[in-house]
Chains A and B, each alone.
Chain A
Amino acid sequence: KQEVTQIPAALSVPEGENLVLNCSFTDSAIYNLQWFRQDPGKGLTSLLLIQSSQREQTSGRLNASLDKSSGRSTLYIAASQPGDSATYLCAVAGANSKLTFGKGITLSVRP
């Protein structure tokens, strides 16, 4: 059974700092890994998807990496801004596109 862990549960950083959010998963037989952002009381916004054959994906100030063999992914946020404050969720896709989610990391970027 796939388990996804995101530690720490919460993170507070000053504006402008570069930061890394970690995600680990127990079963390396995945099809892809997706990072989402969730604002309070809102739905999920897809940030990046990495296919199992890829090592990383970039979108703007975001860079996500995937190391399938070690069961790890990181989301790198460059030059963080207060608008980046949200909960970041990591999810891995197994058979039938079933997504297993971590519990998320709540990020607060202080002005």
Chain B
Amino acid sequence: DTAVSQTPKYLVTQMGNDKSIKCEQNLGHDTMYWYKQDSKKFLKIMFSYNNKELIINETVPNRFSPKSPDKAHLNLHINSLELGDSAVYFCASSQNLAGGFNEQFFGPGTRLTVL
């Protein structure tokens, strides 16, 4: 069973379009994240949600809007796609435990290509 899953795995679209990436975790975790890995392979956090509440919102254009319908899902909607949005987007989850033991588990990634 896949612990953290993302759909689609690949997404190719035209500039200006709106697209969504879905993420689901079956680990029972209460915190979910979105990360972006750019062409230089550098991973940076974008958002995190804890129990459907936005906790982290890094300096991300407001064209990016995360949506958490429940604890097990965190979707990423992107409006007016730009060339610079091309990257691999990773979803992750963790259980918010005391003492710093909140290991993050990552999904397989969604490779977004904007033409």
Q: Residue B48 at the A interface, CB < 8 A?
A: yes
Q: Across the A-B interface, how many residue pairs have beta carbons closer than 8 Å?
A: 64
**Which one of A43, A53, A100, A103 contacts B90 once the chains associate, using CB atoms below 8 Å?**
A43
Interface assignment of A49: CB less than 8 Å from any CB of chain B? yes
Looking at B13-21, B36-44, B62-70, the stretch in contact with chain A turns out to be B36-44
Q: How far is the CA of A99 from the CA of B90 in the complex (A)?
A: 13
Interface residues on B, range: 20 to 34
A28 vs chain B, min Cβ distance (A): 13
Interface residue count on the A side (C-beta < 8 Å): 26
Contact B100 A93 (CB under 8 A): yes
B residues sitting closer than 8 Å to A (CB atoms) are 31, 33, 35, 40-45, 48, 55-56, 90, 92, 94, 96, 99-109
